[in-house]
Structure 1
Amino acid sequence: MSAFNAIDADRDVERDEYTPGIEPQATWCPGCGDFSVLKALKGAMSELGKDPEEILLVTGIGCSGKLNSYFDSYGFHTLHGRALPVARAAKLANPDLEVVAAGGDGDGYGIGGNHLTHTARENHDITYIVFNNEIFGLTKGQTSPTSPKGHESKTQPHGSAKDPVRPLSTSLTAGSSYVARTAAVNPNQAQEILVEAIEHDGFSHIDFLTQCPTWNKDAKQYVPYIDIQQNDDYEFDVTNRPEAAEMMYETELAVHDGEILTGRYYRDDERRSYTEEKQAIGEIPEEPLAERYHDDDYEWERTYDMILDAHK
C-alpha cells in the first residue's frame, strides 16, 4: 500500500502532465527568468518519470511563489521564507514523496536564511531552488540580500552599503551535500542540474539566476555565461570541499564583474540524509508515518503517550 498510489508507478510521464488545467499559462512579466525554472522543472520531472501525484512543490512568497500555481502536483504555498520547514516536515512524514522547495533570493537568503542554514546542516533529502534575480520583484524593486554593493533601489536610493550574501559559499559552509548554480539563459544545463539534484540523496541547493527585466535592469540577462564543467580554465574536484569553496568564492566575486559562472560546485554522495540518521537511532520508523494514517487498521500513536511511557 502507498499513501500516494502514483509513487513508484514506473511509467513514462509527458511534460504536459505538469501543466494545470485551471491556470495553464504563467503570468510572469515578459522576459522573466522564472519561465525557465518552470520549463526546466517540468523537463526534469518528465525525464525522471515522476508522476505529478508523487511530487510536492512547496513555495514561499514572491514571484517565485507562483511556481506551484503553474506546476500541476501537490503544492503548499507557505509564508514568506518558510518553504523549507514545511518541505522538511513533509519529507519526514513520507520519505517516498519527491519534495521540492522553491523561493526567491529575498525569501530564501533573507527572511528564510536561517532555515537554509539548518536544513543544509541536517541534510534533509529535498531539493531547494532559489530564484536569484538580485531584487525583490513582486514588491516592486527593493534591494535584496544578493543585490550588489552600490545597487540603487527604492529602499537604497543612494546605493546599498552592504556586501551581498554569497549563497553558494553559505550553503557549503552550512552543510549542503549538493550545491549548483545555473541560469535561465542556459535551459539545457538547468534541466540537467535539476535532474541530478532531485536524484541526489540529501539536501540539494540550486542557486538559479533568473533575470528580472522589470525591476532589476542592472543584472540584464546574466550573459554571457560560462559552464565551469565545460571550460578547462576551471578544473576542480566537486567532491573536494576546499576546492569547491575556492571555486564558489571565485564565482561569487565574478558575477558582479559581469562574468557569469555556472555549473556543479559540490557533491557528497556518502553522507546520510537526516531521515536515514534518525532511522539509524530509532527515532523514525522504516515505514513512513504517512502510510500508517492511510491504514484503517492502524492504531494511531499519540505523542503524549510516548512521553508518559518514557517517564514511567
Structure 2
Amino acid sequence: MSAFSAIGEEREIDQDEYTPGIEPQPTWCPGCGDFGVLKALKGALPEAGRTPDETLTVTGIGCSGKLNSYFNSYGFHTIHGRALPVARAAKLANPGLEVIAAGGDGDGYGIGGNHFMHTARENHDFTYIVFNNEIFGLTKGQTSPTSPKGHKSKTQPHGSAKEPVRPLSLSLTSGASFVARTAAVNPNQAKELIKEAIEHDGFAHIDFLTQCPTWNKDAKQYVPYIDVNENDDYEFDPTNRDEAASMMREAEEALYEGEVLTGKFYVDDSRPSYQQEKQQIGEMPEEPLAERYFDDDYDWERSADMFIDDHK
C-alpha cells in the first residue's frame, strides 16, 4: 500500500466511476471519433484493476485535450505538444500512479514530435493514446502531420505536397516497446488494446484512428477495418521486430488506399523501463519521490546543493 491511500486498494470497480458526477456537456461534434476513445478508456481501466484515484490523465491541446473534462480521474491539461514530459515526470515521481497521456496527431506527431521520439527511446512506463484524425480539428481543419499527400485544406488549398508521418513505424524506430493501432469504430478491440497497453511495463503507444466528420470528410469512418491479429491473411509475430516493422509499413500504406488495418503490431516485454534502468545504475531511489511528501522526518535537499561547493 502506498502512502497515497487509494493506490493499491483492491476492490470491484465500475466504469461509471470514471464519469464525472456533474457530467459536462461535450463540445465534440456529433459523430466525432473522440467519443470512442473515451468509451474504450472507461471500459479498459476497470478491467485492468485501476480506480479513478489511481489514475492520472495528461492531455495536450486540441479536441483530444477535452478528454480530462469528461473523464473522472486526476488530470493535467498541458500546453500544445507537451503532454509527454508532464506524464513522464508524474510517473517517475509516483510510479504507483497509472498515467495515461493523450493528444491529437498534430499535438503528438507534429508540435510534440520531439517528445514522442525521446519518450519512446527511453521507454517510460505509461500509455500514450494519439487521437489520429489526419487533421487539425480544433483550429478548424488545417493539414496535420498525418494528412495524406494531396489533401486539400485551409493551409494547403492546392493539396499537401508532403508525404504523411508514419506513426507506427516512427514509434517502433524510436524505441517504443508496445505499438498498436485501433479505431473508434472498433470499440471492443480498442478497449482490449488499451487494457493491454496499461498492463504493459514500458512505453505503450496506441495510434487511435478517430474520424472527424466536420473537418476531414476524406477520412470518412475508417471502415471497413481488419484486425491483423485475427485475420488469417496477415501472419506475423508481433514480438519479432523485423516482422512487426514490415506489417506496420503495410498498414500505413494501406490506410491511404482505403484499407484500415488495426491491431497489436509490436510488443517487447523483456526491455526494462526508464525508471528501472535509472534505479539499476543508482541514479534514482527505490523509494518513490512522491512518498517523501508524507515523511515528516525526511531531510529535504536541493539539487543545487550538490554543486555549490564546486563553485565556492
Same fold (TM over 0.5): yes
Q: 1:91 is matched with which residue?
A: 91
SS at match of 2:131: strand
CA deviations on 1:238-290 (whole Å, 9 max, x unpaired) are 01111100000000000000000000000000000000000001111111000
Rounded Cα–Cα distance in structure 1 between residues aligned with 2:88 and 2:3: 17
Rounded Cα–Cα distance in structure 1 between residues aligned with 2:307 and 2:197: 37
Q: 1:262 is matched with which residue?
A: 262
SS at match of 2:218: helix
Q: 1:62 is matched with which residue?
A: 62
SS at match of 2:154: coil
CA gap of 1:65–1:42, structure 2 versus 1, over 3 A, is same
Q: 8 Å contact 2:91–2:125 — kept in the other structure?
A: yes
Rounded Cα–Cα distance in structure 2 between residues aligned with 1:15 and 1:285: 34
Is residue 2:292 matched to residue 1:292?
A: yes
SS at match of 1:219: coil
Q: 1:227 is matched with which residue?
A: 227
CA deviations on 1:70-109 (whole Å, 9 max, x unpaired) are 1111100001000000000011111111111000000000
Normalising by structure 1, report the TM-score.
0.97
Is residue 2:165 matched to residue 1:165?
A: yes
Q: 8 Å contact 1:4–1:53 — kept in the other structure?
A: no
CA gap of 1:310–1:283, structure 2 versus 1, over 3 A, is farther
The letter of the residue matching 1:199 is E
Q: 8 Å contact 2:169–2:249 — kept in the other structure?
A: yes
Rounded Cα–Cα distance in structure 2 between residues aligned with 1:151 and 1:173: 26
Q: 8 Å contact 1:293–1:300 — kept in the other structure?
A: no
The letter of the residue matching 1:294 is F
Q: 1:249 is matched with which residue?
A: 249
Name which of structure 1's ranges 78-87 and 20-29 shifts more when overlaid on structure 2: 20-29
Give structure 2 stretches of 5+ with no counterpart.
none
The letter of the residue matching 1:240 is N
SS at match of 1:257: coil
Q: 8 Å contact 1:132–1:210 — kept in the other structure?
A: yes
Q: 1:139 is matched with which residue?
A: 139
SS at match of 1:26: coil
Rounded Cα–Cα distance in structure 2 between residues aligned with 1:25 and 1:38: 14
Rounded Cα–Cα distance in structure 2 between residues aligned with 1:19 and 1:246: 39
Q: 8 Å contact 2:2–2:96 — kept in the other structure?
A: no
- Report deviation, 1:308: 4.3
Q: 8 Å contact 1:84–1:101 — kept in the other structure?
A: yes
The letter of the residue matching 1:141 is G
* Map 1:1-312 → 2, pairs under 5 A: 2-308=2-308
The letter of the residue matching 1:125 is D
- Report deviation, 1:304: 1.7
- Report deviation, 1:12: 1.0
